[in-house]
């Protein structure tokens, strides 16, 4: 049966890209799929301590991502919400995948190149192996569908390659132990919508990111109305008015980004936005966009504030979710151990 898995790192301020590309779409899947949503704290520590904020920052961000899941309408009883480090099987399967994935595969990952920057010798080995842990996150639940933003497409392809190589390398053992033709499904990315890749407000060639040092580059889910309006007003654009056809957005990354954000927030297509604002100056379009963003984000921010005021409740959601996640992951991991030949208690 189809199972959805996805995760968000507790690395600081959640932003509009996280919401439109990921979290906002998670809730929509709960009526049709069995969904597991994780706060991937083991991934967060692959980056510098200053990025994830040390122990206090990590706890605060973990609760904040959980609150965002709940505020977006994800039901923690029908679905599973938990933080990754509570379910040991993620790390165990990641080690196995470290031994399945090839150096050459990981060397091609653009996220590593971007995050490691020029000082690659000084990047953590965890940052390099990040996609193996991500493959483990998904496959330890035999998840079939993974809603993510565009930036995670390459990692999803790697997860499929890892699943395929494991199935292939151990084909005889998998069949011999009655698991059939394949132990792991090849997970499908679900990358959809007008804002699958929200760009930085300061640079139309870079995606909006939690870890971007410039706060003006992103709209945080917790920004107030004034901050949202100011950031949109100061967002970089070219001097031309909006085109009269969507085609005219080609080669205009910043304009295209703002139109895409409007479309996603309003739940309409880029075509419909251009039908309304084609020919308009940014001095007209930007305030309309700011109003819409405030209208859509303010209730989420309010709910997140209400939820994070009771950290005990949030932590209990994570503990309960982890217990249910473990019950699915452990038998999958036991199967992996038997297939590889690791002796274990029966
Ligand atoms: P970091 O800079 O620490 O990597 P991030 O902003 O990239 O933070 P992640 O926790 O890595 O956030 O990603 C969580 C989810 O949000 C993923 O599904 C990712 O694809 C999606 N996402 C992140 N940035 C964007 C964006 N700019 N537009 C659309 N989706 C995004
Ligand atoms: Mg990221």
Q: What is the pLDDT of residue 340?
A: 98
Q: At 224, list the tokens.
A: 């107030």
CA of residue 18 to ligand 1 center, whole Å? 5
Q: What is the pLDDT of residue 333?
A: 98
- Residue 266's pLDDT band (cuts 50, 70, 90): very high
Best residue for ligand 1 mutational test, from 26, 209, 254 (most atoms within 8 Å of Cβ)? 209
Q: Which CATH number covers residue 283? A: 1.10.240.10
Write out pLDDT tens, residues 31-44: 999 999 999 999 99
* HSE (side-chain half, CA atoms, 13 Å) at 200: 15
Residue in 115, 142, 231, 286 annotated catalytic: 115
Q: Are 190 and 167 in contact (CB under 8 A)?
A: no
Contact residues for 129 (Cβ-Cβ < 8 A; gap 6+): 94, 98, 106
Residue 209 within any structural domain of the chain? no
* DSSP letters for 91-136: HHHHHHHHTTS-HHHHHT-HHHHHHHTT-GGGS-HHHHHHHHHHHH
Write out pLDDT tens, residues 143-181: 999 999 999 999 999 999 999 999 999 999 999 999 999
Q: What is the pLDDT of residue 212?
A: 87
Per the listing, tokens 């494991």 go with 166
Region class of 5: left (phi > 0), else alpha (psi between -120 and 50), else beta:
beta
Protein residues whose CB sits closer than 6 Å to any atom of ligand 1: 8-9, 11, 17-18, 21-22, 148-149, 151-152, 196-198, 207-211
CA of residue 209 to ligand 2 center, whole Å? 7
Q: Are residues 59 and 76 in the same domain?
A: yes
Mean pLDDT of 37-56: 97
ipTM of the complex: 0.99
Q: Are residues 277 and 296 in the same domain?
A: yes
Quote the pTM value: 0.97
Report the nearest atom of ligand 1 relative to the CA of 152. Answer: 20
- Residue 211's pLDDT band (cuts 50, 70, 90): confident
* Known active-site residue 165: no
Residue 11 counted as an annotated binding residue: yes
Could you list the residue range(s) of the whole structural domain that residue 252 is in? 222-306
Q: What is the pLDDT of residue 234?
A: 97
Q: What is the pLDDT of residue 86?
A: 98
Alpha-carbon 283 to chain mean position:
32
Q: Are residues 121 and 256 in the same domain?
A: no
Polymer length in residues for the chain: 346
Pairing mode, if any, of strands 3-8 and 188-190? unpaired
Residue in 113, 153, 202, 210 annotated catalytic: 210
Residue 210 within any structural domain of the chain? no
Q: What is the pLDDT of residue 284?
A: 97
Q: What is the pLDDT of residue 107?
A: 98
Residue in 142, 165, 206, 207 annotated catalytic: 207
Burial class of residue 252, CB neighbours in 10 A (0-12, 13-18, 19+) = middle
The answer on pLDDT for 1 being more than 80 is no
Closest of 26, 22, 150 to residue 81, by C-alpha: 26
Q: What b/e string do you get for 266-304 counting C-beta neighbours within 10 Å, with b at 16 or more?
A: beeebeebbeebbeeebeebbeebbebbbebbeebbebb
H or E, element range at 5: strand 3-8
Report the nearest atom of ligand 1 relative to the CA of 209. Answer: 6
* Known active-site residue 210: yes
Report which bound ligand comes closest to the CA of 41.
Answer: 1
Mean pLDDT of 261-272: 97
Mean pLDDT of 12-37: 95
CA of residue 230 to ligand 2 center, whole Å? 25
Q: What b/e string do you get for 101-128 counting C-beta neighbours within 10 Å, with b at 16 or more?
A: beeebbeebeebeebbeeeeeebeeebb
Q: Are residues 97 and 244 in the same domain?
A: no
Range name among 57-71, 203-217, 254-268 with the lowest pLDDT average: 203-217
Q: Are residues 114 and 32 in the same domain?
A: yes
Best residue for ligand 1 mutational test, from 18, 39, 51, 214 (most atoms within 8 Å of Cβ)? 18
Q: What is the pLDDT of residue 262?
A: 98
Residue 170 within any structural domain of the chain? yes
Write out pLDDT tens, residues 313-328: 999 999 999 999 999 9
Q: Are residues 319 and 302 in the same domain?
A: no
Sign of the dihedral defined by the CA atoms of residues 236, 240, 244, 249, in that order: negative
Q: Are residues 247 and 328 in the same domain?
A: no
């Amino acid at each position: 049966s189809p199972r959805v898995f996805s995760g968000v790192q507790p690395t600081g301020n959640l932003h509009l890209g996280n919401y439109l590309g990921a979290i906002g779409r998670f809730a929509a899947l709960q009526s049709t799929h069995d969904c597991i949503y994780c706060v991937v704290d083991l991934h967060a520590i692959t980056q510098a301590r200053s990025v994830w904020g040390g122990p206090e920052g990590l706890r605060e961000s973990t609760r904040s991502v959980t609150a965002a899941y709940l505020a977006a309408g994800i039901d923690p009883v029908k679905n599973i919400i938990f933080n990754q480090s509570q379910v040991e099987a993620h790390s165990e399967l990641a080690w196995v995948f470290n031994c399945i994935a090839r150096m050459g595969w990981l060397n091609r990952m653009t996220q590593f190149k971007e995050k490691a920057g020029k000082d690659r010798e000084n990047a953590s080995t965890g940052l390099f192996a990040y996609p193996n842990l991500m493959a483990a996150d998904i496959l330890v639940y035999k998840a079939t569908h993974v809603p993510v933003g565009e930036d995670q497409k390459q990692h999803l392809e790697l997860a499929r390659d890892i699943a395929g190589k494991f199935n292939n390398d151990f084909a005889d053992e998998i069949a011999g132990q009655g698991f059939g033709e394949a132990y792991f499904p090849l997970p499908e990315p679900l990358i959809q919508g007008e804002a699958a890749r929200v760009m930085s407000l300061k640079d139309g060639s870079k995606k909006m990111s939690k870890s971007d040092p410039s706060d003006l580059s992103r709209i945080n889910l917790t920004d107030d109305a004034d901050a949202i309006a100011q950031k949109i007003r100061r967002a970089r654009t070219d001097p031309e008015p909006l085109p009269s056809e969507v085609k005219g957005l080609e080669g205009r990354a910043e304009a295209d980004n703002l139109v895409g954000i409007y479309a996603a927030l309003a739940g309409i297509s880029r075509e419909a936005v251009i039908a309304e604002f084609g020919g308009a100056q940014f001095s007209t379009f930007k305030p309309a966009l700011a109003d819409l963003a405030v209208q859509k984000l303010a209730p989420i921010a309010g709910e997140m504030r209400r939820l994070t005021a009771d950290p005990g409740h949030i932590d209990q959601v994570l503990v309960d979710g982890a217990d249910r996640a473990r019950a699915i992951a452990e038998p999958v991991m036991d199967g992996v151990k038997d297939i590889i030949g690791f002796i274990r208690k029966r």
